[in-house]
Amino acid sequence: MIKKFFITGTDTNIGKTTISSILLKKASNYGYKTAGYKPISSGIKKCNNIVSKIIKKKSQFVNEDTSILQKNSSVYLTNKEINPVSFLENAPPNILSIINNKKINKKYLSLGLKKITTKSDWILIEGAGGWYTPISNKNTFSDWVKKEKLTVILVVGIKLGCINHAILTEKAILADNLVCAGWIANNIFPSDKYTSYYIQTLLSYIKSPLLGIVPYLKNINEININKIKIELPE
């Protein structure tokens, strides 16, 4: 049976790609043929030193998220297979779609996912921004997730405001009649004296199980998955 999970977050820049890379590696260690899928990306730039080391390429313009997913998948996929729709600028997909006259077709996203299912049996699909990120003036990313009936994993970036964002996001996921397999607390700052209070509060309000707590990671090279306790979603 092919397992497919959609990663969403409480905001943008809260570590969805980092969490995705950890889960892909853990699933691979369990014997799955893993693949990361980034249907839509925005922001293409020259590799920094960290990303260059990860993807072993120098002086190349890439979408960092796509490259990291490629590196941490156990099956080889081309950039285009992982990321069928990409934009040079860094902005919401619906705005970039209009500016670049490049329509985002949900059927195209589904076709890309279907192709990956022929190569992998454990697929992690990374969204863009939060749950209701628009991909057009009529549809949000969540509309495609509903169409595909994907199981959702929620990444909560631990910071001021995360409690409200996490509660609202989970309520939206459940209201869409989707399964939320769990949530992951990601420490996006080196230290915050309220971290444990945030997490305890969320445990009181979030119905879905806590899959794990990820410590602050200065860069992706610091990841030692053996030391990070995250349960694989069912």
85-115 tens-digit pLDDT: 999 999 999 999 999 999 999 999 999 999 9
Binding-site residue set for ATP:
13-18, 65, 126-129, 186-187, 215-217, 221
Q: Is the pLDDT of residue 77 over 90?
A: yes
Residue range 3-227, CATH number: 3.40.50.300
Q: Could you give the CA distance from residue 227 to residue 214 in angstroms, rounded to a whole number?
A: 10
The two tokens of residue 215 are: 């410590």
- Please state the domain extents for the chain: 3-227
Please give the pLDDT value at position 62: 78
Q: Could you give the CA distance from residue 79 to residue 61 in angstroms, rounded to a whole number?
A: 12
- Please give the average per-residue pLDDT across 183-205, as a whole number: 95
Q: Does the active-site annotation cover 107? A: no
- Could you tell me which residues come within 8 angstroms of residue 4 by beta carbon, excluding any fewer than 6 positions away? 113, 117, 123, 125, 148, 150, 151
Q: Higher confidence at residue 200 or residue 45?
A: 200
> In the structure, what pLDDT confidence band is assigned to residue 81 with cuts at 50, 70 and 90?
very high
Separate counts of helices (H) and strands (E) for the chain: 9, 10
For the chain, what is the largest distance between any 2 Cα atoms, rounded to a whole number of angstroms?
A: 47
* pLDDT tens digits, one per residue of 164-181: 999 999 999 999 999 999
Q: Is the pLDDT of residue 10 over 90?
A: yes
Residue with tokens 């949900």: 106
Q: Is the pLDDT of residue 38 over 90?
A: yes
Binding-site residue set for substrate:
42
Binding-site residue set for Mg(2+):
17, 65, 126
* 104-119 burial: b if 16+ Cβ within 10 Å, else e: bebeebeebbeebeee
Binding-site residue set:
13-18, 42, 65, 126-129, 186-187, 215-217, 221
From the number of C-beta atoms within 10 Å of its C-beta (0-12, 13-18, 19+), residue 184 rates as buried
Helical residues (DSSP H) of the chain, grouped into ranges: 16-29, 49-55, 64-72, 79-82, 93-99, 106-117, 141-148, 162-175, 195-205
Q: Which of 1-5, 13-17, 45-49, 188-192 has the lowest average pLDDT?
A: 45-49
Q: Which of 33, 38, 46, 102 is catalytic?
A: 38
